Amino acid sequence: MAASKRVVQRFVIDNFLLSKFSDSCSRTGKSDFREISQLAKSNGSRAYLVDTLALVRRLEGQGVPSKQAEAITGVITEVLNDSLENVAQSFVSKGESQKMIHDSNLSRFKSEIQSTQEHQFSLLQRDTEKLRTELQRETEKIRIELRYEIEKVTAGLRLDLNLERGRTRDELADQKAESANLNNKLDQVSHAMRAQLEAAKYDVIKYCIGTLVSISAVGLAVIRILM
């Protein structure tokens, strides 16, 4: 019985299914597969798509005993229904197909959004890095120019300070020289005044001595006259 079943399965798969089922597929399309799936599984029972009585009569006409023909017919029907169920399971319903298409479109949309976001983020990051580089370059340029101006102003201030210091030193030297000349003149005047005072003192002393001598002489003369 098992050997007969294998022979029948090979016969059904190689001949009947390939011819009949391929013609049915080419005529009806995928919508009929869904109908086959619904037919094979409706109400949990199997719909027999083969005329079993005609098949038994045909096998008996080929010289197959009645019981063996019925067994072969049952096996063919079972194999055909199993094959149809397997084929029906490989197809999806219209709702599942639309759901799969929707999920695929949504996944593709998400992928495109993510790719766009990554591209925009990459552009933004590149622009930010470019702006940062330019800002650093401008900052360094401004720092160099500011340092140059500071050094320039500092050098000018140092030069002015040195000139002012030299001028102040010269003025101090001139004032010292003038002070020295003034001191010398004061010393000369002081010496001259001392010399004049000494000469006047000698003259006064001489005048006093002369006066005293004259007074003494007059006094002596008066005394002599009185005596």
Quickly state the pLDDT bin for 140 (edges 50, 70, 90). very high
Please state, for a pLDDT cut of 90, what percent of the chain lies above it.
13
Asked whether the predicted pLDDT for residue 142 surpasses 90, the reply is: yes
Q: What is the pLDDT of residues 94-124, one digit of tens each?
A: 677 788 888 888 888 888 888 888 888 889 9
For residue 144, the model assigns a pLDDT of: 94
Asked whether the predicted pLDDT for residue 87 surpasses 80, the reply is: no
3-state secondary structure the chain: CHHHHHHHHHHHHHHHHHHHHHHHHHHHCHHHHHHHHHHHHHHHCCCCCCCHHHHHHHHHHCCCCHHHHHHHHHHHHHHHHHHHHHHHHCCCCHHHHHHHHHHHHHHHHHHHHHHHHHHHHHHHHHHHHHHHHHHHHHHHHHHHHHHHHHHHHHHHHHHHHHHHHHHHHHHHHHHHHHHHHHHHHHHHHHHHHHHHHHHHHHHHHHHHHHHHHHHHHHHHHHHHHHC
